[in-house]
Structure 1
Amino acid sequence: MATWLAQPSRFARLSRGRARIALALLAILLAATLGALAVPAPPPVSGDPGKRGDDQADVMLYESIVDGVRHGGNYYEVTAAALRAGDYPLRPFVTFRLPTLAVVQAAMPERGVIALLYALAGGVMLAWFARLRPAFVRAPPLVVAILLLAGGMGAFVQAELATFHEIWAGLLVALSLAQRRPGRWMAAVGLGTVALLIRETAALYVVVMAVLAWLEGERREAIAWTGGLALFALALAAHAYAVAQVVTPLDPASPGWAGMLGFGFFVEAMTLSTALRLAPAWLAALLVGLALFGWAAWREPVAIRALATFTAYAVLIGLFGRVDTFYWGLMVAPTLLVGLAFVPDGLRDLIAAAFRRRNITVQRVAS
């Protein structure tokens, strides 16, 4: 099997015993991904423009909020009215999105918003191209990796989704991850903090980055990530207070987020958020598992951070996601499929290590 990576994978140096354990864990992971076939699926999208209100109800909600703010409305009053009109819950306060994205978009012309979205998506592609180029020994596997990146970003260049918060936050998380390097983390922290101020669930990514920085002895970086979280906490407190001014005890409350749908639902969320939705469900599920394996195989600090981020969101979505919140997967969708580019070398090295012959040394003993 030809070598794709410029350096051996993380599995090349495993002992035979540990490699066999890793192979068993890979088999368990792939089997677990097939749990996606048993979880409930969200209602299918009709594709009929006349039924957009049903297919993209949330998108239309956010569009109406941006339009109301653009015409001089107060964000919280406009949002409360839109939620009531759409029969959405208004309690607890997190049913209101943070105002950052709506206020910024309301201040811009619609074409400017779309141009900014495309520019951000293009920035993610360029940043990951620069990050991945040294990883491969030849151009073809690099091209494959970039195509896989594009396969994870299909939803992020759809103009009609420009008001969707996960679209922007997911791109910012992907760009932040690409920008972070040992000793060079300021841009990554800044981008992660902006993602926080757009979508609260980006806090999970920032926590992962802070913890890993601390464990690696990067104290200043860990403090910077924690500072981003502190800023977010202040913004969230102000947001909660503002929401309380426009919500009444008679407004409906959310049914909660304890979906408890398990790992299979995370796999399904990733399938629906990427180009894998075009593949048969069983194949898409297995490819999600192999992508996770691929990230584990790449021997780079960014790969550990990516894998830890995917794991954290798998826990979040598996425990708290509901059928109608599968779009949480967009937070990590852009980069997931890139892991498939690391699978050939990782699998080759793991199998070679698992079935490596033991060296037997024969010594002659003089009688």
Structure 2
Amino acid sequence: MIRARPPVWLSCSSRFATLRPGMALGIALLALALLASSWFLPAEDAARDAPLGVDVYASVVDGLRSGGDYYAVAAQELRADRAPLHPFPAIRLPTLSVVQAALPDFVSILLLIAIAAATGLAWSRRIGGWFERGPPRIAALFLLAGGMVAFVQPSLVAFHELWAGLLIAWSLAIRREDRWVEAVALALCAMVIRETAALYALAMLAAALRDGRRREALGWVAALLVFVAVLLLHARAVALVAGPLDAVSPGWGRLHGPGLFASGMARSTALIILPWWLGAPLAMLAMLGWAAAPGPLGRRAALTFGGYALAIAVFARTDNFYWALAAAPAYLVGMAFLPDAVRDLARPILDRRRVRVQRITR
């Protein structure tokens, strides 16, 4: 067993602190490969500057306020925008639009800001447990703010990914061994707003099974079953309004690689102010930091962010960069773990000390 050194920034040792040389070298090589991949972006034209669906679903909300049916109005607006209606995930789940149609616009904006504030407060408390000293804590809080800049923009209030991303981040921050019911409930709210939030629930289910927490695992299974039931009803409703002549989505499974995730995360956070050749690698480095984050929250966050990175790398098109918003609010905090992560990776790799054994015969 390798003896852990005192942490650099953290209040406790990172997950890399006791790695053996072979494992440390493997992680370092993987990190370098991922870092290099962030400079290789797909050759296709990258996404539209405005997130797909914001204007369309703002119009859907207006149509609902005029007494229209959600699926009929959504189909009409998507056809007018020349957007696909097939397969059924091309039409968003109705939850967010129906709720917003029942509320004045300013109430929806206040609700979005309130959820963002609750998410930021929850993460601030968890950051305080990792970083007790002032400078590291301040740096981590600045990184948290950098990840949440997109989530307090009133112009994006109709964007489903925004709400789902905040609810996922809030759920992840408040989850504790004695407080998982609230986390499951928030995750279910995120899933019925945007189906990509189910990836987070699957990650949490896997973590609960790994930790032997059966009751919590059953809670995540129950939430996923409710989501599947909602999704089946949604698919049937879409089938009633989508005709054979309606446009079909070009599909997913494009295998664009990790560079698309790094680029999408850079475009979804404060890293957008940097040139892409700097912002994307920094976004990828945050993943290394989360891999080293200690404690159950660090492990579950790393599993969640890694799951979204894998899904975007394998399935997303270039215009699906906004999928990264599901993981964006707290993602940049991973860079605060880098001083400890890099030191703890380098130590076993560079340590050349050897124990020499001599046998003396008389």
Deviation of 1:3 after TM superposition, in Å, equals 2.2
AA of the residue aligned to 2:157: A
Asked if the contact 1:102–1:163 (Cα under 8 Å) also holds between the matched residues in 2, the reply is yes
Name the CA distance, whole Å, in 2 between partners of 1:257 and 1:22. Answer: 29
User: Could you tell me which residue of structure 1 aligns to residue 289 of structure 2?
Assistant: 294
Compared CA separation, residues 43 and 134, structure 1 to 2 (3 A): closer
Q: How does 1:325-364 map to 2 (within 5 A)?
A: 325-360=320-355
| Other-structure match for 1:154 | 149
Query: Of 46, 52, 61, which aligns to 1:42?
Result: 46
Q: Does residue 212 of the first structure (1) align with residue 212 of the second (2)? A: no
Q: Is the 8 A contact 1:39 1:264 kept in 2?
A: no
One of 118, 123, 128 as aligned partner of 1:128: 123
**1:5 maps to amino acid:** L
Q: Please report the TM-score for the alignment, with normalisation by the length of structure 1.
A: 0.92
Q: CA deviation at 1:57?
A: 6.1
Distance in 2 (alpha carbons) for counterparts of 1:30 and 1:146: 24
Of 246, 252, 271, the residue aligned with 2:247 is: 252
Q: Deviations over 1:305-351 (max 9, x none)?
A: 11111221122212221122111111111111100000011111221
The aligned residue for residue 94 of structure 2 is 99
- Counterpart of 1:130, as a letter, is R
Q: Judge conservation of contact 2:147–2:329 (CA < 8 Å) in 1.
A: yes
Going from structure 1 to structure 2, the CA distance change for 1:362 and 1:149 (only over 3 Å counts) comes to same
Alignment of 1:2-41 (within 5 A): 3-36=8-41, 39-41=43-45
- CA gap of 1:239–1:157, structure 2 versus 1, over 3 A, is same
Q: Deviations over 1:7-53 (max 9, x none)?
A: 111112122333233322222222222223x54452564xxxxxxxx
Moved more, 269-278 or 103-112: 269-278
1:116 matched to 2:120? The reply is no
1:66 to 61, 71, 77: 61
SS at match of 2:247: coil
CA distance in 2, matches of 1:316, 1:158: 26
How big is each residue's C-alpha offset from its partner over 1:222-269, in whole Å with a ceiling of 9 and x where there is no partner?
110010010011111111121222222222222212332121111111
Match of 2:184 among 185, 189, 196: 189
Return the match for 1:166 from 158, 161, 166.
161
Deviation digits for residues 63-102 of structure 1 (CA, Å, limit 9, x no counterpart)? 0001111222111111111112211111221111111000
Measured against aligned partners, the alpha-carbon deviations of 1:94-131 in whole angstroms (never above 9, x if no partner) come to: 11111100000011110000000000111111000111
Q: Could you tell me how far apart the structure 1 residues matched to 2:278 and 2:340 are? A: 21
**Is the counterpart of residue 282 in structure 1 residue 277 in structure 2?**
yes
SS at match of 1:87: coil
Identity %: 48
Q: Deviation above 6 Å: which 4+ runs of structure 1?
A: none
CA distance in structure 2 between the partners assigned to 1:25 and 1:256 by the alignment: 29
Q: Contact 1:128 / 1:178 at 8 angstroms: preserved in 2? A: yes
User: Among residues 305, 311, 317, which one is paired with 1:316 in the alignment?
Assistant: 311
Distance 2:359 2:315 in 1: 65
Whole-Å Cα distance in 2 between the matches of residues 254 and 362 of structure 1? 67
User: For the aligned residues, what is the CA RMSD?
Assistant: 1.9
Q: Give 1:356 shift.
A: 2.3
Instruction: Please tell me the residue identity of whatever aligns with 1:116.
Output: L
For structure 1, the 5+ residue unaligned runs are 46-54
Match for residue 3 of structure 2? none
Determine the C-alpha separation between the residues in 2 that align with 1:326 and 1:203. Answer: 18
Tell me the secondary structure at the aligned position of residue 334 of structure 1.
coil
- Structure 1 residue 366, shift from structure 2 partner: 7.3
1: CA distance between counterparts of 2:212 and 2:285? 31
Paired residue secondary structure (2:241): coil
Taking a change above 3 Å as real, the CA distance of residues 137 and 43 of structure 1, as seen in their structure-2 partners, is closer
Code of the aligned partner of 1:29: L
Within 1, Cα distance between the matches of 2:232 and 2:48?
37
Q: Distance in 1 between matches of 2:181 and 2:44?
A: 41
CA–CA separation in structure 2 for the residues paired with 1:214 and 1:9: 23
1:269 aligned residue: 264
CA distance in 2, matches of 1:6, 1:329: 29
* Larger deviation, residues 260-269 vs 158-167: 260-269
| AA in 1 matched with 2:140 | A
CA contact (8 A) 1:273 1:333 kept: yes
1:217 to partner: Cα distance: 0.3
